Structure 1
Amino acid sequence: MSNKTLNYYNQHAQDFNDSTLNIDMSSLYGEFLPLIEPYGHILDAGCGSARDAIYFKQQGFRVSAFDASEKLASIASRNLNQVVEVSTFQTMNSQNQYDGIWCCASLLHVPKIDLPLAFLNLQNAMTNKGVLYVSFKYGDLEREQNGRIFTDLNEAMLENLIARLVELKIVKQWQSVDQRPDRKTEIWLNALIRKETEN
Structure 2
Amino acid sequence: MTIEFYERHAEDYFRTTVGIDMAVPRERFTKLLSPGARVLDAGCGSGRDARVFHELGFHVTAFDASPRLAALARVHTGLPVTVSTFQEVAWREAFDGIWASASLLHVPRAELPSIMRRLRDALVPGGVWHMSFKYGTGEREVEGRLFTDLDERAAEALVAEVGGLEVVWMGVEPSRKPQTPDERWLVLLCRRSA
TM-score with structure 2 length normalisation?
A: 0.97
1-side partners of 2:162 and 2:105: how far apart? 19
Which of 184, 189, 194 aligns to 1:192? It is: 189
Is 1:182 the counterpart of 2:179 in the alignment? yes
Q: Which amino acid aligns with 2:80?
A: V
Aligned to 2:73: 76
2-side partners of 1:30 and 1:82: how far apart? 21
Is 1:165 the counterpart of 2:162 in the alignment? yes
Q: Deviations over 1:45-72 (max 9, x none)?
A: 0000000000001111110000011111
Which of 1, 6, 12 aligns to 2:3? It is: 6
1-side partners of 2:55 and 2:79: how far apart? 13
1-side partners of 2:22 and 2:96: how far apart? 20
Contact 1:110 1:151 (8 Å CA) reproduced: yes
Unaligned ranges ≥5, structure 1: none
Report the RMSD for the aligned CA atoms in angstroms. Answer: 0.9
Q: Which amino acid aligns with 2:116?
A: F
Aligned to 2:60: 63
* Deviating 4+ runs (over 3 angstroms): none
Contact 2:5 2:145 (8 Å CA) reproduced: yes
Q: Deviations over 1:55-98 (max 9, x none)?
A: 00111111000001111111111111121111111220100000
What displacement does 1:175 show? 0.5
What displacement does 1:166 show? 3.5
Aligned length: 194
User: Identical aligned pairs, as a percentage?
Assistant: 43
TM-score with structure 1 length normalisation?
A: 0.95
Q: Which moved more, 1:92-101 or 1:176-185?
A: 176-185
1-side partners of 2:188 and 2:149: how far apart? 14
